[in-house]
């Protein structure tokens, strides 16, 4: 069957998962079990295909994206970004998350628009969807890329950066570990996530696109967000 040979060529649906975005995936500290919106979607997709699911875990979304085409995962959930489209085929957007900045309390920066100023250094997690967006769109500020979200926080706390970029829910959850930070009002972008496959699997990509449309229309994505108690993640309507 062409679909299975592209979407589950090993007889399992190998789901590329990352622990860098806890809005989609978390690991139970006791059992080690993965939970979240992404895992719900992968279990449902595997069930539709009649195959078991195998989670291929990476530390960051950038690591998942870098592995596209290497044959280590069959489907993943990632931020939809033009820089990734050379190797990855995305579904339509299924969720929305605002991305914003934290700046130092004494900073002169008062709005997200002011951040793109010559001399301003922005700390961001390397290859995160919002980092790729900033790299593509900023004209004056400088992006300092760190390994993972915590690495970007460390850069900011060490005062090697003037602003910290991140998904707003993650920034809000991290404010206790950023004692000298304050959140700027408003987003600098809205991050959309979708399900994806590598570009060399067109039959799989078409099936995944149709699957996501159904998951949105049926309310599956919205219910999963509520069931997992995720704040700041909104299902596309």
Q: What is the CATH number of the domain that holds 68?
A: 3.40.190.10
Distances (CA, A) of 69 to 72, 75, 87, 89: 8, 11, 7, 11
Q: Which residues of 63-80 are buried (b: 16+ CB within 10 A; e: fewer)?
A: bbbebbeeeebbbbbbbb
Q: Answer whether 160's CB lies under 8 Å from 167's CB.
A: no
Give pLDDT tens digits for 190-229: 999 999 999 999 999 999 999 999 999 999 999 999 999 9
At a CB cut-off of 8 Å and minimum separation 6, what does 225 contact?
Answer: 37, 95, 233, 234, 235
Is a pLDDT exceeding 90 seen at residue 2? no
| Residue 120: per-residue pLDDT | 98
Distances (CA, A) of 21 to 53, 60, 119, 173, 235: 20, 7, 29, 12, 16
Q: What is the arithmetic mean of pLDDT over 80-99?
A: 93
**Do 57 and 81 belong together in one domain?**
yes
- The gap from C-alpha 10 to its chain's centroid, in whole angstroms, comes to 26
**Is the pLDDT higher at 2 or at 79?**
79
Number of domain units in the chain: 2
**Do 7 and 88 belong together in one domain?**
yes
From the list 88, 100, 93, the residue with the least C-alpha distance to 216 is 93
- Quote the mean pLDDT of the chain: 95
| Residue 19: per-residue pLDDT | 92
Give pLDDT tens digits for 123-162: 999 999 999 999 999 999 999 999 999 999 999 999 999 9
Distances (CA, A) of 64 to 11, 47, 75, 126: 21, 23, 10, 12
**Do 7 and 69 belong together in one domain?**
yes
Q: What is the arithmetic mean of pLDDT over 17-35?
A: 93
| Residue 1: per-residue pLDDT | 60
> What is the domain extent for residue 24?
2-95+192-235
**Do 19 and 89 belong together in one domain?**
yes
Q: What is the arithmetic mean of pLDDT over 3-32?
A: 94
Is a pLDDT exceeding 90 seen at residue 82? no
**Do 168 and 220 belong together in one domain?**
no
Give pLDDT tens digits for 44-80: 999 999 999 999 999 999 999 999 989 999 999 999 9
Is a pLDDT exceeding 80 seen at residue 91? yes
CA distance 104 to 87: 37
């Amino acid at each position: 069957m062409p679909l299975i040979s592209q979407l589950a060529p090993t007889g399992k649906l190998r789901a590329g998962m990352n622990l860098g975005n806890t809005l989609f995936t978390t690991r139970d500290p006791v059992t080690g079990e993965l939970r979240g919106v992404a895992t719900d979607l992968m279990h449902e997709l595997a069930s539709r295909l009649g195959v078991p699911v195998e989670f291929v875990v990476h530390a960051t979304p950038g690591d998942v994206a870098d592995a596209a085409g290497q044959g280590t995962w069959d489907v993943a959930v990632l931020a939809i970004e033009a820089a990734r489209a050379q190797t990855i085929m995305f579904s339509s957007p299924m969720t929305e998350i605002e991305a914003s900045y934290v700046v130092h309390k004494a900073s002169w920066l008062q709005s997200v628009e002011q951040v793109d100023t010559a001399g301003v250094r922005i700390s961001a997690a390397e290859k995160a969807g919002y980092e790729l967006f900033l790299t593509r769109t900023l004209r004056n500020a400088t992006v300092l890329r760190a390994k993972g979200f915590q690495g970007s926080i460390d850069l900011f706390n060490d005062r090697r950066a003037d602003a910290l970029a991140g998904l707003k829910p993650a920034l809000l959850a991290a404010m206790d570990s950023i004692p000298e930070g304050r959140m700027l009002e408003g987003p600098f972008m809205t991050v959309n996530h979708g399900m994806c496959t590598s570009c060399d699997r067109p039959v799989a990509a078409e099936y995944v696109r149709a699957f996501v449309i159904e998951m949105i229309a049926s309310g599956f994505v919205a219910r999963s967000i509520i069931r997992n108690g995720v704040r700041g993640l909104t299902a596309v309507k």
